[in-house]
Homo-oligomer: A and B are copies of this chain.
Amino acid sequence: MGRGTIALLTKEIPADKRILITFGGGSVKKNGVYDQVTEALKNHNTVEFWGIEPNPSIETLRKAIELGKQEKTNFLLAVGGGSVADGTKLIAAGLLYKGDAWDLVKLRKPITDTVPMATVMTLPATGTEMNRNAVISRYETKEKYGIAANYPVFSILDPETTFSLPQNQIAYGIVDTFVHIMEQYLTVTGVSRPMDRWAEGLLQTLVEIAPKIIDNPTDYNLMSDYMLSSTLALNGFIALGGVPQDWATHQIGHELTALHGLAHGHSLAIVLPGTMNVLRAKKGDKIIQYGERIWKIKEGNRNERIGKTIIKTNEFFRSLGLTTHLSEEGIGYETVNEIERRFNERKVAFGENANVTGAVAKLILQDRL
């Protein structure tokens, strides 16, 4: 992590590797990242694959896997945001998998052999640079699933690469980071003080820097704090100490993205206040702790404090310029019912108490209409 670290690619990737470099839509050609990468790898053997889209699709990734096999690549370098990196994780597995790579996603076939991959991250959000998660979509059937894939062998984070990010990407990234922390934090109290303080410290950081970043997205220190927070929000540190995890908000958000193309972070901003409201009986103690430590809410009875805390959380997301209700995005009952139907069909029950069934997801979404 740091200024100028893309140049480290030269020595970090062994000289004898045949590298498939994967990219998104082309923003890296405008902000100078592409030039830095190609300069660093000018004496390496490289092939490029362009066009991994936001919410990377199996349809696109199959083409990359085909190219990688054809070119006999034995190292992958993802250059871009979380979608490029996630997609590349599936390519890394797909290159050594005999069947269709969608099996690895839909059927959750265990991913054992992978081609080594690294990342140059240009969008702080998903934390994929330091974990083994990947989220892959299938456009044809409007499906989107998270899987446990492979760790990058290294990741490069130069905060300067974020200076040209559009404001909505920054807003989505801040929400994504915030909700990653909340999914690991907003469960039960009393499990681990050090880990609670760690999660709260990251939340406090985001609340403090978010308005400053919106006003000044080229401040190196601010963007460093944001970039480091994004990585640390989902690299396993918060879960040290055996902290229970939720992830229901993500699962419901994935459906909104799959059905309506909502940006991932945006979908989370819509869903989280509903999860907090509907699950207040189980999560109440932790919501109160969160409200007190992050938003200084100390007055009122239990339900009032929970209510104020949810309002503050909702306002924080809106302060980033995001809508936080389904109706604001033209999404209505039809989608609520479809998500309930899908959860029921899959017989899933998400959350730390395994109680977010189709029926509960419906309550959460109704709360956000």
Query: A residues touching B (Cβ–Cβ < 8 Å)?
Result: 1-2, 190, 192-198, 200-202, 204-205, 208-209, 221, 224-225, 228-229, 232, 237, 240-242
Contacts of A221 in B (CB 8 A): 190
Choice from B192, B228, B232 contacting A228 with Cβ under 8 Å = B192
Query: Which residue of chain B is the closest to A201 with respect to CB atoms?
Result: B197
How far is the CB of A101 from the nearest CB of chain B, in Å? 33
- Give the distance in Å from the alpha carbon of A5 to the alpha carbon of B188 in the complex: 24
CA distance A225 to B242 in the complex (A): 11
A340 to B225, CA, bound (A): 40
Q: Are A197 and B205 in contact (CB under 8 A)?
A: yes
- List 26 A-B pairs, Cβ < 8 Å: A1-B241, A2-B242, A192-B228, A193-B205, A193-B208, A193-B209, A193-B225, A193-B229, A194-B201, A194-B205, A194-B225, A194-B229, A194-B232, A195-B228, A196-B201, A197-B197, A197-B198, A197-B200, A198-B198, A198-B201, A200-B201, A201-B201, A224-B241, A228-B240, A228-B241, A237-B237
Residues of B within 8 A of A229 (CB): 193-194
Known pairs A193-B209, A194-B229, A197-B197 / 15 extra A-B pairs, C-beta < 8 Å: A2-B242, A190-B221, A192-B224, A193-B225, A194-B201, A194-B202, A194-B225, A194-B228, A194-B232, A196-B201, A197-B204, A198-B198, A200-B201, A228-B241, A237-B237
**CA gap between A54 and B196 in the complex, in Å:** 33
Say how many copies of this protein the assembly contains: 2
Nearest to A230 among chain B residues (CB) is: B194
Residues of B contacting A204 with CB < 8 Å? Answer: 197
Q: How far is the CB of A150 from chain B (nearest CB, A)?
A: 22
Q: How far is the CA of A221 from the CA of B196 in the complex (A)?
A: 13
From A193, A195, A208, residue with most partner B Cβ within 10 Å: A193
- Residue of B whose beta carbon sits closest to that of A229: B194
- A198 and B232 CA atoms in complex are apart in Å by 11
Chain B residue at smallest Cβ distance from A196 = B201
| Set of chain B residues within 8 Å of A192, measured between Cβ atoms | 224-225, 228
A208 to B200, CA, bound (A): 16
Q: Which residues of chain B are near A242, meaning CB under 8 Å?
A: 2
Contact partners of A2 in chain B: CB under 8 A: 242
Please give the distance in Å from A203's CB to the nearest CB on chain B.
9
What residues of B have a CB within 8 angstroms of the CB of A209 in the complex? 193
- CB neighbours (8 Å) of A202 from chain B are 194, 197
